[in-house]
Amino acid sequence: MSISRRNFLAAAALPAALAAPRISHAQAGAGRVVIIGGGFGGASAARFARDNFPALDVTLIEPSRSFTTCPYGNLVLAGRRDMNSITFGYEKLAARAVRVVHQSVVAVDTAAKQVRLADGAQVPYDRLIMSPGIDLRWGAIEGYDEAASERMPHGWVPSLQPISLLRRQLEAMPDGGNFIMVIPDNPFRCPPGPYERISMVADYLKRAKPRSKLIALDAKNGFSKQPLFQDAWAELYPGIIEWRGASSDGRVMRVNAAAMEVETEFGEKLKGAIVNVIPPQMAAKIARDAGLANQSGWCPIKPATLESTQVEGIHVLGDATIAAPMPKSGFVASSHAKHAVACIAASLAGRAPPAATFFNTCYSHVGPEYGISIVGVFRSGPNGFAEVEGSGGVSPRNAAMTAERRKEQRQLEALYADGWYQSITDEMFG
Amino acid sequence: MHLKIRLCFLFLTATPAFAQAADTPLLIGGCQGCHGASGQGAQGIPSIKANHSRDEFIAIMRAFGANERPATVMGRISRGYTPEQIALLAAHYARPQ
């Protein structure tokens, strides 16, 4: 045992029972898998490895002791869920013999195959998975920095800035105040997320602040599930929501947090009682520091195995990757995770990687008992990812259904959204 | 010669067995995200665990894909699988035979 390994085990302060089982490398397919990041990608990878590949020794490194999901954050905003119901701990993963280490990673040494933690410990690995998530691009919108976000919350990276700040502002807003939302161009985390948020804020305004309006300023001209969202807004929230795309001067160039004011491309200034800025994004710092991101700020990966094309021997998952047409969603991150783990197990056993099929099911709550969805099945090709032809797509539009069927479809999808959330969070943290 | 034939035979039988072992846990990932880790269902999402025979399971997936069975998302999802993949799902989720 090397000194660094001993340091690491001591630093992790683990019960002897967890630290004890050492994997012999003589065992077929055995190896040390280190996973950086405990969100949808990382937690799914840890669980999947433990359930399916007992010869793998699994370490999950995540600085935070709890994880608040981005999905269902918009329901907290609407007052239909509380923060506790969307926040999870890592105890159950630890009980499944995942070595959970609550430390920040300061460096990845790919030559020595080890990860250095903030407390100085070195964690050696045979295979490394990075599921780093995203960072916000402070300053990409002039004036929107971390200090400005105290007054103009983003509510987009819950571990840094709980959505509860936005919720408190919403509750404190006088009836008649305007809620301004600033929405970025593609690509960004959770493509339908801003539009579910518009819906859930409008749901709250309709009930609690009927004289208030929501103005959404969007840096692009179209968005995920657009016709479905806009049909629902007209039906459920008439007169409450104004959405402006880029061609209607929706792109916000700068903000003045002191004045609670935003300025568009053509110089129009709008003041809001609340200004929710979802800024442009990029792969998280640890991924950029490790050299995994290209000039776009996101991480290119090999379609067959999800290994970085920039740095040999690191599998990258989830929102940080360039994986279009797959969206940056929790379901996709979880799907990436399982494939990467299976590729690692195959590689350690000297076998070829399994065929890649990826899945996405993404529900949005638009109103009470009103849910819509987009689904997709994807495969890897030689040059990238492709959706399986003829599959996937969004829920049917209102006009395509009888009134009776329409009601049933929207109700069922709202119900199934809750079921999806329960199933996927149980799988990761249960 | 005799040895060579036997090795080929071993290779041919071993490969599909491994393919199935590796592919099934990955394939069912598309189901587990909503239907739960063992297919038990959740909050109105139906259970898919041991409810049907393999043939029934395959027929249901085909009917979803052909829009011949009422669905919210399953029509769109089922069209993403090959017949071989649906057979693997059926083997995993169907009632033991």
For the segment B21-35, what is each residue's pLDDT rounded down to a tens digit?
568 999 999 999 999
Instruction: Give residue for tokens 């049909």.
Output: A231
Joined together, the tokens standing for residue A354 give 């399994």
Report chain A's mean pLDDT, rounded to a whole number.
92
In CATH terms, is domain A3-133+284-354 a member of 1.10.3720.10? Answer: no
Chain B residue with the nearest C-alpha to that of A344? B22
Query: Of the candidates A377, A426, A427, which has its C-beta nearest B77's C-beta?
Result: A377
pLDDT at B23: 84
pLDDT at A159: 62
Query: Of the candidates B37, B45, B79, which has its C-beta nearest A390's C-beta?
Result: B79
**Model-level pTM?**
0.90
Q: Is the pLDDT of residue A304 over 80?
A: yes
Q: What percent of chain A has pLDDT over 70?
A: 93
pLDDT at B9: 37
Angle of helix A193-208 relative to helix A226-236, nearest 10 degrees? 0
CB contact under 8 A, B33 and A359: yes
Q: Could you tell me what percentage of chain B is helix, strand and coil, using 3-state DSSP and rounding each to the nearest 5?
A: 65, 0, 35
Q: What percent of chain A has pLDDT over 90?
A: 90
B66 CB within 8 Å of a chain A CB: no
Q: Residues of A near B (CB-CB distance < 8 A)?
A: 48, 51-52, 331, 334-335, 338-339, 342, 345-346, 351, 354-355, 357, 359, 361, 373, 375-377, 388, 390-393, 395, 409, 412-413, 415-416, 418-420, 422-424, 426-427
CB contact under 8 A, B72 and A416: yes
Query: Of the candidates A346, A395, A416, which has its C-beta nearest B44's C-beta?
Result: A416
ipTM of the complex: 0.84
pLDDT at A14: 42
CB contact under 8 A, A391 and B76: yes
Q: Which class for B46: exposed (0-12), middle (13-18), buried (19 or more C-beta within 10 A)?
A: middle
B11 CB within 8 Å of a chain A CB: no
CB contact under 8 A, B73 and A416: yes
Three-state DSSP class for residue A3: helix
B14 CB within 8 Å of a chain A CB: no
Query: Where are the CATH 3.50.50.60 domain residues in chain A?
Result: 3-133+284-354, 136-281
For the segment B37-93, what is each residue's pLDDT rounded down to a tens digit?
999 999 899 999 999 999 999 999 999 999 999 999 999 999 999 999 999 999 999
Beta-carbon contacts below 8 Å between A and B: 114
Chain A residue with the nearest C-alpha to that of B33? A424
Kindly provide the residue ranges of all beta strands, DSSP E only, lying in A110-251, ordered along the sequence: 114-117, 122-124, 127-130, 134-136, 178-183, 213-218, 241-244
pLDDT at A382: 87
pLDDT bin (cut points 50, 70, 90) of residue A156 is: very high
Kindly provide the residue ranges of all beta strands, DSSP E only, lying in A219-337, ordered along the sequence: 241-244, 252-256, 261-264, 269-271, 274-277, 281-283, 299-300, 314-316, 321-322
CB contact under 8 A, B44 and A52: no
Q: What angle do CA A179, A184, A187 make, to 5 degrees?
A: 145
Contact A372, A412 (CB under 8 A): no
For the segment A182-194, what is each residue's pLDDT rounded down to a tens digit?
999 999 999 999 9
Q: Is the pLDDT of residue A144 over 80?
A: yes
For the segment B36-49, what is each residue's pLDDT rounded down to a tens digit?
999 999 989 999 99
* Segment A319-348 mean pLDDT: 97
> First and final CA of chain B: distance in angstroms?
39
The CA distance from A422 to the nearest CA of chain B, in Å, is 7
Query: Of the candidates A351, A418, A426, which has its C-beta nearest B37's C-beta?
Result: A426
The CA distance from A391 to the nearest CA of chain B, in Å, is 5
CB contacts under 8 A, B 44-63 vs A, are 44-45
For the segment A370-427, what is each residue's pLDDT rounded down to a tens digit?
999 999 999 999 889 999 999 999 999 999 999 999 999 999 999 999 999 999 999 9
pLDDT at B21: 52
pLDDT at A27: 64
Domains in chain B: ranges and CATH: 23-93 (1.10.760.10)
Joined together, the tokens standing for residue A397 give 């539009």
Domain at A136-281: CATH code:
3.50.50.60
Query: Of the candidates A338, A351, A423, which has its C-beta nearest B26's C-beta?
Result: A338
